[in-house]
Amino acid sequence: MTRDRWNALITEVEPAPARPGPLAGARLVVKDLIDTAGVRTTYGSRIYADHVPERTAGAVERLVAAGAVVTGKANLHEFAWGVTSQNPWYGTVQNPYLPGRTTGGSSGGNAAAIAAGLCELGLGTDTGGSIRLPAACCGLAGIKPSWGRIPVDGVFPLCPTFDTVGPLAASVRAAAAAWAVLAAAPVPRPRLAGLTVGLLRRPPSVGGRALPASPAAEAYAERLEELGARVVDATIPEPPADTWPLFFHEAAESHRATYPARADDYGENVRTKLELAQAVEPGDVERARSAVAVWRGYRPEVDLYVAPAIGIEVPPVDCRELDVRLQLTAFLRPFNVLGWAAVAVGNVQFAAPADEVAIGAALAWEAAASPGP
């Protein structure tokens, strides 16, 4: 393996022989939140620094059975709870695509490894943008499947109501091939022609203060129309209540065995969030849970939405995560709460209730930009 100058990996893995299959020989870096039998899996933490699982996560097994070869475990934001991949125990992931800028998080190590040519595929997780944000920051493709579409067994939970696992790659085509293996489904057919596409200029807030619009959305309209889509301005209604209490409650439950008992073994960033999570009121949690259930019943009048993946400039690698986390995930997090699929192609995001629609649109977008086999 090429020397890892980007701190993308926590552990390098001696590759096993590739099996025949659609992914035969593809080098795979697995986020170190995801269990791999016999290989150290730290969850990006000091607490699990020497943890070696006995079983491999189902998603990894599917990719390996299709021919992918695990070559490393990717660095990440501690316990996947953060958007910058600044890790107090394993160091900050560096961005090969935009030097000096954040890789995003929490699957930043996966994105950096692909952008640096250390591997062809990454397997990451996305609870509030953690696949799509690094893909956007590193000029890649990242697929967040609809909630429940791909198994999450063997993945350390952040918030089970929002947690998903999915692929990153240098192209939508490669990521879609991995998604097909993970979902046990055919690769979606590229399609934008004939679809009604909602241009999302302002994200719903998912709770709390309203978030600003982004002018970036307008830049996509002309090309979408050239590809045969009908483009309309569209919005997503706000959820009926603040959904953040459910996120914080589930995060607190995920760490109940080690927090606050081992609070000193957490980095300051995640410890600050866990401290806030302890104060959530049970009534607020139940209102949030009901709001998520209601919001997941929403069916849009458009076939899919197109929006920026991130609506601000990519921050410096040494930014303060607590200052940028809401702005960086404003256009990403709503689709975790809705439970929809969403695909980042660089900074363009395609989102729909069905994986096949979002991935098919992203494939069509990419094919038009890079014609040929």
Domains of the chain: 9-183 (3.90.1300.10), 196-237+298-363 (no CATH), 244-292 (no CATH)
Name the average pLDDT for the chain.
Answer: 96
Mean pLDDT of the region 181-186? 98
Pair 310, 347: CB distance under 8 Å: yes
Instruction: Supply the residues annotated as catalytic.
Output: 31, 106, 130
Q: Which is more confident, 173 or 207?
A: 173
Q: Structure pTM? A: 0.97
Write the pLDDT tens digit of every residue in 346-361. 999 999 999 999 999 9
CB atoms within 10 A of CB 213: 14
In angstroms, rounded to a whole number, what is the distance separating the alpha carbons of residues 85 and 9?
12
Write the pLDDT tens digit of every residue in 253-292. 999 999 999 999 999 999 999 999 999 999 999 999 999 9
Checking if the pLDDT of 373 tops 80, the result is no
What contacts 178, CB < 8 A, 6 or more positions away? 23, 26, 63, 68, 121, 123, 143, 167, 169
Banded model confidence at residue 216, pLDDT cuts 50, 70, 90: confident
State yes or no: cis peptide before 245, omega within 30 of 0.
Answer: no
Mean pLDDT of the region 65-87? 98
Checking if the pLDDT of 159 tops 80, the result is yes
Checking if the pLDDT of 370 tops 80, the result is no
